[in-house]
Amino acid sequence: MKKYACLKSIASYIPTRCVKNSEFEKSLDTSDEWIRKRTGIQTRYFASKEQNTSDLGVEAAKVALERSGFQASDIDLVIVATLSPDYLNMPSTACLISAKLGIRNKPAFDISTACSGFIYLLSLAKAFIESDAYKNILIIGAEKVSSVLDFTDRGTCVLFGDGAGAAVITSTTDKNNSILDVHISADGSYHDFLFTPRATRQSEFMQENCISQYLQMKGNETFKLGVKTLISDVEEILQRNNISSTQVDFFIPHQANLRIISAVGEQLNFTSEQVVITVQKYGNTSAASIPMAMNDIYESGKLKNGDLILLDAFGGGVTWGSALLHFGG
């Protein structure tokens, strides 16, 4: 019988330190009013000094496992998407999370696709399950973006937050409970729109010719390209699956900027009940933003088994992607 991939559970972890826009007013030429008006962001959460990305990811993963009904020993593969790994190149954050969960002798690796991370994770999990390579896959989007932020750059540091989201993807024969379609893409010619010269433990590795070790972004250019790409990407996946926007229960776009979400939502005729918005609370948590938003509607009791969800993301690389799935939890 044909195997399909089912998103069985969703969970998130939010660090405890809530940072209001007004905190940035103390050290930067910015204001709560500017940040709210231009981005929709009101608060974000930052991890403590002691917490690394893997610590955030493991907390989300524990809850996702519990909600899936599986034990850590049932997991065949762990994949993590992050732009803020604990270590620069190795070991991967996925290996660290596997170890913390007690998962041994199972493959684990990271992917680097910035804010599109969760869509890329779904694409990989779907392919591995449909080809019968693995049965139960733990996917995690985890970010300590604060570790790569330049807190003197008002153009970037007010936009991002830390957090993690995790899901267990499992094999099913029920197509009506499965991930129907995932589309991923990239265009490296825009690589300089968003980049981090060095990763988390950057100061140890900084090169003399490295201008800054922190995340840098051409905000306005990214904004315009993001809106255009997200709209055409959603139109394409809906068309390919012969689905109209009215049939979608929840549209969960990447949470970077309320103006981007509104522009995309309006252009595609989604109602405010369909569009999930969490950017005001969490800021942009990169690869964690979509699973964190999905977990919000799950925990509020709105998301039900079988609901049709549309996901869409755009991020550094540049990368983008969309996914259409029935919630299987």
CA 327, 299, 58, 326: dihedral to nearest 10 degrees? 0
Which position among 6, 95, 115, 157 bears the catalytic label? 115
Q: Which of 194, 177, 92, 193 is nearest to 140 (CA)?
A: 92
Interface stretch with ligand ACO, choices 32-40, 42-50, 91-99, 236-244 (CB under 6 A): 32-40
Please tell me whether residue 139 binds ligand ACO under the rule CB under 6 A: no
Residue closer to ligand ACO (CB basis): 9 or 147: 147
Asked if 211 contacts 197 with a C-beta cutoff of 8 angstroms, the reply is: yes
How many Å is the maximal CA-CA distance in the chain? 61
Is residue 242 annotated as part of the catalytic site, yes or no? Answer: no
Residues numbered 96 to 125 that lie near ligand ACO (CB under 6 A) are 114-115
Nearer to ligand ACO, 62 or 154 (CB): 154
Residue count (the chain): 329
Encoded amino acid at 263, one letter: A
* Two structure tokens written together for 220: 């306005």
176 is catalytic: no
Task: Tell me whether the omega of the peptide bond preceding residue 107 falls within 30 degrees of 0, making it cis.
Answer: no
Name which of residues 47 to 66 contact ligand ACO (CB under 6 A). none
Minimum Å gap between C-beta 253 and ligand ACO is 10
Asked if the bond preceding 318 is cis, omega within 30° of 0, the reply is yes
CA dist., res. 219 & res. 223, Å (int): 6
Q: Is 95 annotated as catalytic?
A: no
**CB 212 to ligand ACO: min, Å:** 15
Kindly state the smallest distance separating residue 113's Cβ from ligand ACO, in Å: 9
Under rule CB under 6 A, residue 155 binds ligand ACO: yes
For position 9 contacting ligand ACO by CB under 6 A, the verdict is: no
Select from 111, 164, 194, 311 the one that contacts ligand ACO (CB under 6 A): 194
Among candidates 127, 280, 271, 149, which has minimal Cα distance to 217? 149
CB of 291 to ligand ACO, least distance (A): 15
Stretch that binds ligand ACO, among 94-102, 120-128, 297-305, 308-316 (CB under 6 A): 308-316
Q: Does 173 bind ligand ACO (CB under 6 A)?
A: no
283 sits near ligand ACO (criterion: CB under 6 A):
no
Please write down the long-range contacts of 272-281, taking CB distance under 8 Å and 24 or more positions apart: 274/245, 274/248, 274/249, 274/250, 275/251, 276/250, 276/251, 276/252, 277/40, 279/39, 279/40, 279/41, 279/255, 280/40, 280/41, 280/42, 280/43, 281/42, 281/43, 281/44
- When asked if residue 220 is in the footprint of ligand ACO (CB under 6 A), the reply is yes
- Beta carbons within 10 angstroms of residue 163's beta carbon: 33
Contact characters 67-86, ligand ACO, x per CB under 6 A: ----------------x---
State which of positions 242-271 bind ligand ACO (CB under 6 A): 256-257, 260
**Among residues 222, 255, 295, 322, the one that binds ligand ACO under rule CB under 6 A:** 222
How far is residue 108's CA from residue 131's CA, in Å, rounded to a whole number? Answer: 18
DSSP state of 104: -
| List of residues contacting ligand ACO (CB under 6 A) | 30, 34-35, 38-39, 83, 114-115, 154-155, 158-159, 194, 219-220, 222-223, 226, 256-257, 260, 284, 286, 314-316
- Residues marked active site are found at 115, 254, 284
